């Protein structure tokens, strides 16, 4: 009896002691979490945001995402810079160059390009190819990069002597940015393998995202609308531009999306809404596999014939717009194959002055085409050298678009005349 009682007492004592130890460890853990430094909290916040939003959660199991968090928080992280470096290391296994931490300078610059009309830097829009090489998507009009002859398809080899492979996509972009008046030495290689160096002086570049003009010949009046990027102000500016062109009685429209590397997806969709009537614009697919189709409104701002110009610098939000116009047979696409970025990022605040971009969804064109890594093929391919002055009298791409649009308008006139003739025959 005493022996059984003693055993029970000993067992209870062990259980109680174990509970005390467990609770003590839990309290210690809670205390450690509560006592996380601001720098470590930055890392934990970044991990949480990606964990909750990243479009491909299956990737987490593949790379042991929770273990990565644990190992990252064990590092020495005492400063903000150490936190940013730790986040970059933590994100690398995701193998997604578009999910990236944005240091204060980069975060402010990205917000400025999305919501403002000016940007400081050299005017390069960058991406990665299948081999993870940093590639030029496009150059901004009037930028130092454009003036230096850098073109879509060039590869960034080094920036100020540091290889782009070491810097990564985000690091390369960050290294190219800086105060106006400062210089940066860039080594580039072309698609043919030729290597050259250019010394670029950073400066403020006027983005002027929407530009228009009227093109006239002996037979037709055509509107020309160029969109260089999709910032917050673009949909309203496009509405105003289309209204202005309608007042000038244009018969058709050339939409120029060459070297438009994207921007705010919502702005690209809003522009499509101005040109389509109750048609599917895009289909997005989130992390749960749920597809969400976006349909345009009934009212349009312009319903005349269109030709849309695209090239290998046409990417992301501009591909959404071009894809919606092509799949709905609203516009003929002319030019060359587009870049092929079918992923959508969400920009989140991280701390007081930094941020993180997270790929949250993929998209398909209205006919279900996934353009990620593939791009879109135009209806009419152009094998012509591109111009440095888009929309000018020397722009052969625009001239070809004019000729095609002119033929479409003439067919339309013949169709109208035939209809009128048939009506006259019926009356007689």
Q: Which two tokens stand for residue 373?
A: 């890594």
Could you confirm whether 362 is annotated as catalytic? no
Q: Tell me if 400 sits within 8 A of 381, measured CB to CB.
A: no
Residue found by looking up tokens 């849309």 in the block: 308
Torsion of CA 245, 248, 254, 259, to 10 degrees: -50
Could you confirm whether 71 is annotated as catalytic? no
CA distance 237 to 243: 10
Residue found by looking up tokens 């749920």 in the block: 290
Distances (CA, A) of 216 to 54, 75, 126, 250, 427: 49, 66, 36, 9, 37
Could you confirm whether 273 is annotated as catalytic? no
Catalytic residue among 106, 327, 386, 395: 327
Catalytic residue among 154, 174, 341, 386: 341
Catalytic residue among 138, 143, 316, 362: 316
E strands along 129-209, which residues?
Answer: 134-139, 155-159, 162-163, 183-189, 195-201, 203-206
For the purposes of burial, counting CB atoms within 10 Å of the CB of 365, is it exposed (0-12), middle (13-18) or buried (19 or more)?
buried
CA distance 223 to 240: 13
Annotated catalytic residues are 316, 327, 341
């Amino acid at each position: 009896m005493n022996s059984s009682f003693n055993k029970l007492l000993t067992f209870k004592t062990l259980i109680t002691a174990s509970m005390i130890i467990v609770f003590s460890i839990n309290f210690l853990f809670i205390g450690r979490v509560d006592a996380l430094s601001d720098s470590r909290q930055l890392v934990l916040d970044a991990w949480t945001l990606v964990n909750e939003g990243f479009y491909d959660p299956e990737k987490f199991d593949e790379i042991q995402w929770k273990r990565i968090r644990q190992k990252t928080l064990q590092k020495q992280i005492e400063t903000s810079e150490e936190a940013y470096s730790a986040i970059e290391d933590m994100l690398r296994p995701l193998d997604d160059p578009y999910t990236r931490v944005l240091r204060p300078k980069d975060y402010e610059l990205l917000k400025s390009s999305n919501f403002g009309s000016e940007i400081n830097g050299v005017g390069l829009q960058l991406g990665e190819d299948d081999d993870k090489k940093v590639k030029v998507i496009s150059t901004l009009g009037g930028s130092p990069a454009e003036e230096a002859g850098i073109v879509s398809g060039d590869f960034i080899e080094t920036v100020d002597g540091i290889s782009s492979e070491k810097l990564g996509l985000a690091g390369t972009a960050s290294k190219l940015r800086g105060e106006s008046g400062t210089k940066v030495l860039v080594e580039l290689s072309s698609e043919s393998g030729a290597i050259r160096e250019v010394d670029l002086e950073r400066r403020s570049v006027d983005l002027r995202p929407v530009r228009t003009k009227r093109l006239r010949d002996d037979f037709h009046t055509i509107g020309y609308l160029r969109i260089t990027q999709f910032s917050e102000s673009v949909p309203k500016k496009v509405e105003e531009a289309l209204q202005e062109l309608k007042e000038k009685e244009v018969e058709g429209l050339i939409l120029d999306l060459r070297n438009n590397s994207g921007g705010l997806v919502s702005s690209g969709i809003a522009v499509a809404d101005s040109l389509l009537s109750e048609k599917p614009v895009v289909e997005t697919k989130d992390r749960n596999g749920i597809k969400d189709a976006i349909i345009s409104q009934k009212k349009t701002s312009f319903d005349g014939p269109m030709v849309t110009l695209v090239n290998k610098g046409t990417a992301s939000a501009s591909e959404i717009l071009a894809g919606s116009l092509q799949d709905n047979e609203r516009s003929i696409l002319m030019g060359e194959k587009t870049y092929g970025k079918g992923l959508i990022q969400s920009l989140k605040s991280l701390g007081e002055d930094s941020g993180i971009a997270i790929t949250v969804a993929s998209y398909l064109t209205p006919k279900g085409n996934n353009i990620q890594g593939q791009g879109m093929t135009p209806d009419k391919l152009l094998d012509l050298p591109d111009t440095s002055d888009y929309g000018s009298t020397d722009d052969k791409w625009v001239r070809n678009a004019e000729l095609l649009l002119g033929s479409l308008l003439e067919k339309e006139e013949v169709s109208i005349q035939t209809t009128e003739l048939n009506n006259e025959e019926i009356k007689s």
